[in-house]
Structures are given as C-alpha cells and as structure tokens.
Amino acid sequence: MPMDLPTLWYLTTGTLLVAAAMTLWERKAHAQRSRELGLWACAYAVFALGCVLAMNRELLAGAFGPALTNLVMILGYLLVLQGILALDGRRLPLILTATLLAALGAAWLLAGQASVSLFWNHVGAFPIALVCALAALALHRSRVAQGLRSRPIAIAVLACHSLFYALRAFAVPILAAVQGEAVLVIVAKSTMYEAVLFTVAMSMSLLSLVREEDRARLLATARTDFLTDLNNRQGFFELAPRHLGSEARGASHSLLAIDLDHFKAINDRYGHDAGDRVLKLFADIAREIAGPSAMSARLGGEEFAILLPNMRGEEARLIGQSIARRFAEAAARSDGLAIPATVSIGLAEASSQETDLIALLAAADHALYRAKMLGRNRIEVAKPGQVVRAA
C-alpha cells in the first residue's frame, strides 16, 4: 500500500538505527576492523539524525533547516567513505572534510531563502553523488577487498546511489521544467524508497565484506605453518592445483622436494630452539630465492616442497642449487646460527597442464631419496617418465 512522506522518513530512520545497532554489535566480533565498523555505525547514526532534522527542517528559520540537514547527511556519507578508506589503512584528511562541509555551508548561506528549493531538490544532491562515487572507487581499488564476493555488490550499491543523486542534480531540473512541479513530489517519494533500499543494502554489504575478510583470514591461518609462515601441507594440496591450472596449456612445471639433512641430530645437539631457527632460516631463504610466483610449503617436520609453475627443470635446478648454497652458508656463519646445516633436494618436471600433483611430488620424492643415498647435500633430478599425468 502507498506510504506518505512522513511514514517513509520514519521507516528510513528506523532502518538506519537498526543498521547502526547491528554494525556496533558486529564490531565486538571483529576487533581488527573495529575502527571501520565504528565509522560505519557512526555514519548510520548521523544519517538517522539527518532524517530527524529533515522532518523538522521547517521549524528552523530561513534556509538554516534544509542547509543543516544537507550538511549532516553529507557528513554521514563522508564517514562511510572514511571507513572504506580505513580498510587499506588510508584516511580522508580532516582538513579536507572540514573544508568541504564549510564550503557547502557557505554556499547554502549565500544562496539564501530564495534558493532553498533549488538547493534542497537539486544542488544539494551533487555532493552526495560525488562522495558516493568516490566511495565506490575507493572500494574498487581496495587491496583488502580484492577477491571478496560481496565487494562487487557493495560497489554496485554505492554506484547506483551515486547515479540516483546525479540524476536528481542534473536530470530532474529539466524534467520538472517540462512536466511541472508535481514531478518533485514523485522524486521525493522515490528518494525515500531508494533511501530504505540503500540503507539495507549498504549496511549488509559492508558487514559482509568484514565477515568474508575474517573468514579468509581464518582460512589462510589454517593453511599456514605457524613456525615458518609458509603454506602447510593442507594449504599446499589445496592451493597448488590452482597454481598449475592457472598456467597456459603445455607449460612446464617443476617441483622441488627438500629435506634438511640430519635434522634430528641438529635438534639433539643444539636444542629444539636452534632447530626451529634453522627451519625459519631455510624458509626465509627459500621464499626469497624461489620468488613470488613459486609456492613454498612445509609439508611436515623438516620436509619442504617448492612448486615452480611455468618453469623448466634446468631453471628449477639452478634455483634449487642456489637455495642449498645460500642456506648452508647462512647457517654456518659465525655471526648467525653457527650450525652446519645442509639440504637434500629432489627435482621433478612435468610438461602438461593436467599434471597430477601427487605424481609430481612422488617423482620429486624419489629423486630426493636418491640424493640422500648418494651422500646428501645435493640435488638430484627425477628420471624422464617418472611423472605420471592425470587422465
């Protein structure tokens, strides 16, 4: 059933207060995003205050009521933008916010009573459209939000809201001139209906961003070895197939299976704390030399694996030799661990996108076993035909 404007104002105010309460409640569960959630909750409360002011704007003298309402609303949008920027550790300078609000306030005062209708219906909509567009752009560029499923929804909500207010600023004046002032009543009701939808969609999509990021963080923790900060066994077998599948068909892939030599003897002689430092030293060196495109993992104990997508065996062998040499030198330095530690490495190469990861690792393990049998502290290459391709 149709609703009158006061009812829509009350509905919007109630929706905003609920959104503020939900966001504050969610803040307790996400301490790492308490600032962002606090800014958004504050924004919804400011919007609610703006709604109350809008319903009573005629009680204030001259243009002061509409001007104050418009400034409060824009402050709410600026808080939303500030929260989005905070996701990546950025912020909107306070001086810029204050200058914008002061300039808008001055524009209202200079326009005076004669231009209240023009500013309320059209001119005041432009800053809202601009800030919402900036918020959508900031979210689009956000590194933290990359890959989160709710990010496109949040961007779309902000962009559509920006477009709606841009139409109010530029298209509605033309329409009102052609069709008459009755258009403004329809636009006013449409604005309130859109406000309710925007409030719900914006608050839920921003909450979803924070929840998804938290789930992604927990999942990353479950896939990460706590000591070396490399992928653990679970992370390796879950993520490695994606690395293989993302490369071009027919690309060569190499895998290094690595064991620290006589690691039990190192623990027995130097203690488990020294053993942990040896593991961390190796992980740091392997990560640095293998590079960002490689996927390094601690499979368990002193066992490691490095997947090198789109890399032929000869290049991978050079990387393995460099890792082994750098690690032995760094571990033995007197200003470092001063522990004689070395590694044995097995290398396997496959030349198909459909490479079976288990078979590739098994072939590298066979080569690793041969490296141990031949005296350790060396790299051996799997024989051709040892890697079985997936059907």
More confident residue, 379 or 7: 379
Q: Is the pLDDT of residue 4 over 50?
A: yes
Grade residue 386 by pLDDT with cuts at 50, 70 and 90. Answer: low
pLDDT at 61: 75
Give pTM, 2 decimals. 0.81
Report the candidate in 133, 147, 148, 156 with the shortest Cα–Cα distance to residue 80: 133
Q: Is the pLDDT of residue 388 over 50?
A: no
CA distances from 112 to 61, 66, 120, 124 (A): 11, 11, 12, 14
pLDDT 10s digits, 232-248: 999 999 999 887 776 55
Q: What is the mean pLDDT of residues 50-65?
A: 87
DSSP state of 86: H
Report the chain's mean pLDDT, rounded to a whole number: 91
Angle (CA) 222 225 226, round 5°: 95
Contacts 24+ apart (CB under 8 A), 220-225: 225/297, 225/298
| Three-state DSSP state, 87 | coil
SS3 sequence, 131-176? Answer: HHHHHHHHHHHCCCCCCCCCHHHHHHHHHHHHHHHHHHHHCHHHHH
Angle (CA) 265 283 145, round 5°: 150
pLDDT at 110: 87
CA distance 311 to 314: 8
Q: Provide the CATH number for the domain formed by 233-381 in this structure.
A: 3.30.70.270
Q: What is the mean pLDDT of residues 83-87?
A: 97
Q: Is the pLDDT of residue 219 over 70?
A: yes
